[in-house]
């Protein structure tokens, strides 16, 4: 997998999740393996150029956190360009542009002059970045406003023309939000619109099988997972294995999930300090526990945690409580096992409903 001159070890990517894709989470994923390129949360270009503390914290990295992409957003070409130049000087591997969600008034005109004006404006902004750096510049978008206004193919093509090295596309429209089915045919339209650059599919990739289905059905060159990586940090390792061998690795055990969760907590404490790290971890731990089986006891306490030793106490109490759901071999009794995760685009009519993929809290309407 190549983005311009950048060669990546796999075609599997981490999608930006503001508030979540920080250094500790990226390191956890990298230690588990399979990930080709990880990204930061989105960063305001102006804040970065002005070296605001909050923006600098968002791009905090370490030698083990390579290769790293930083996602920028902004509408002022000079600020986006200068932010890209600054990131290149820091050794960042690529810069991703958050294209935001399409605006109704632009697309409602029906692909007319407003759309073209918008495309020209965007292309100008992106070109100023591409021309200023040697590292690849990529772009992330949705399919369009709604199913009657699929703008991503034209946008992708226009961006390729000004030198963008790859396109990430979330296979939903703005109108869909995070509901409905990810549209693989829509992703295919983007794949067909570009001439040579890789298009990376995104949306609901929550299992190795979902990754393969998205690649096979849309023709995309790779996949990007956001929430799937949160549910299952092993997703990249397992998907890489599945794409290479056609066989599925077993689901991680409860003990392995706990091990990785504690590693994640320790990295949070290292990067953010014990109190702040633990506070941030209050919204992270419940994602791990979604696959623990019954976990109310854990979730109830973990949302109050303030320190590492307290976290260990909570975990200890939870282990004792959880014992009632286990059989004699120490496995969850079958009726307590969480349903397998099934991507929206893999649910066949009449099949048993799979695990539901939640939307974390945040201003998600803009993504
Ligand atoms: C909490 C949350 C935060 C997100 N933050 C960003 C972001 O900063 N930039 C971005 O381009 N997309 C963002 N997204 C969208 C994701 O990158 C991704 O496109 C979307 O969640 C679909 O992929 P998934 O099903 O693998 O999560 C966010 C999504 C969620 C749920």
What's the predicted TM-score (pTM) here?
A: 0.94
Quickly count: other Cβ atoms within 10 Å of residue 112's Cβ: 11
Q: Out of 83-97, 114-128, 259-273, which region has the weakest mean confidence (pLDDT)?
A: 114-128
Q: Is the pLDDT of residue 187 over 60?
A: yes
Question: Could you tell me the pLDDT band of residue 233, with boundaries at 50, 70 and 90?
Answer: very high
- The pLDDT-based confidence of 298 (bands split at 50, 70, 90) is very high
In the chain, pLDDT over 90 holds for what percent of residues? Answer: 81
Backbone angles phi, psi at 142, to 5 degrees: -95, 175
pLDDT over 70 (residue 272): yes
Active site residue 278: no
C-alpha to C-alpha distance for 105 and 127, rounded to whole angstroms: 24
| 229 touches 235 (CB < 8 A) | yes
Instruction: Specify the DSSP class assigned to residue 345.
Output: G
Catalytic residue among 101, 133, 210, 214: 101
Q: What is the pLDDT of residues 27-72, one digit of tens each?
A: 999 999 999 999 999 999 999 999 999 999 999 999 999 999 999 9
Question: Which 3 state secondary structure label does DSSP give 137?
Answer: strand
pLDDT tens profile 122-150: 999 999 999 999 999 999 999 988 888 88
Name the phi and psi angles at 287, rounded to 5.
-70, -40
Q: State which of 15, 227, 230, 357 you would mutate to test the pocket of ligand 1, scoring each by most atoms of that ligand within 8 A of its C-beta.
A: 15
What's the pLDDT at 352?
53
What pLDDT is stored for residue 118 in this prediction? 81
Q: Is the pLDDT of residue 103 over 60?
A: yes
Average pLDDT rounded to a whole number, residues 146-163: 93
205 lines ligand 1 (CB under 6 A): yes
pLDDT band for 104, please (50, 70, 90 cuts). Answer: low
Q: Is 182 in the pocket of ligand 1 (CB under 6 A)?
A: no
CA 196 / ligand 1 centre spacing (Å): 25
The residue contributing the CA closest to ligand 1 atom 21 is 226
In this structure, what token pair is assigned to residue 207? 């299992």
CA 239 to CA 208: how far, in whole Å? 4
Strands 166-170 vs 12-14: parallel, antiparallel or unpaired: unpaired
Ordered DSSP codes for 146-177: STT-B-HHHHHHHHHHTT--EEEEESS-TTTT
| Residues 169/199, Cβ–Cβ less than 8 Å | yes
What count of Cα atoms within 13 Å lies in the side-chain half-sphere of residue 22? 21
The mean predicted confidence, pLDDT, of the chain is 92
User: Tokens in use for 2?
Assistant: 């190549």
CA separation for the pair 123, 294 (Å, rounded): 50
């Amino acid at each position: 997998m190549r983005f311009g001159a950048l060669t990546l070890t796999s075609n599997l990517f981490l999608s930006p999740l503001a508030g979540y894709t920080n250094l500790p989470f990226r390191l956890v994923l990298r230690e588990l393996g399979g990930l080709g390129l990880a990204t930061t949360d989105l960063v305001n270009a102006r804040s970065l150029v002005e070296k605001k503390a909050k923006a600098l914290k968002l791009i905090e990295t370490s030698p083990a956190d390579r290769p790293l992409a930083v996602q920028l957003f902004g509408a002022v070409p000079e600020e986006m360009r200068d932010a890209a130049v600054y990131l290149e000087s820091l050794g960042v591997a690529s810069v991703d542009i958050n294209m935001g969600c399409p605006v109704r008034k632009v697309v409602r005109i029906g692909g007319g002059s407003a759309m073209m004006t918008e495309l020209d404006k965007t292309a100008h902004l992106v070109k100023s970045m591409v021309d200023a750096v040697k590292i690849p510049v990529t772009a992330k978008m949705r399919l369009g406003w709604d199913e009657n206004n699929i703008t991503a193919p034209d946008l992708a093509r226009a961006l390729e023309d000004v030198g963008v090295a790859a396109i990430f596309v979330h296979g939903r429209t703005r109108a869909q939000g995070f509901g409905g089915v990810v549209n693989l045919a829509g992703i295919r339209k983007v794949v067909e619109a570009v001439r040579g650059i890789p298009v990376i599919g995104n949306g609901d990739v929550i299992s190795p099988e979902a990754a393969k289905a998205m690649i096979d059905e849309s023709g995309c060159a790779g996949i990007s997972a956001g929430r799937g990586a949160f549910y299952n940090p092993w997703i990249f390792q397992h998907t890489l294995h599945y794409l290479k061998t056609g066989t599925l690795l077993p689901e991680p055990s409860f003990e392995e999930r706990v091990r990785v969760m504690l590693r994640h907590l320790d990295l949070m404490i290292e990067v953010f300090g014990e109190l702040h790290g633990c506070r941030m971890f209050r919204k992270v731990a419940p994602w791990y526990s979604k696959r623990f089986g019954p976990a109310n006891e854990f979730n109830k306490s973990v949302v109050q945690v303030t320190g590492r030793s307290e976290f260990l106490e909570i975990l200890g109490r939870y282990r004792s409580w959880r014992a009632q759901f286990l059989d004699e071999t120490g496995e969850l009794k079958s009726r307590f096992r969480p349903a397998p995760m099934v991507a929206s685009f893999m649910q066949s009519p009449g099949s048993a409903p799979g695990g539901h993929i939640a939307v974390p809290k945040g201003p998600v309407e803009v993504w």
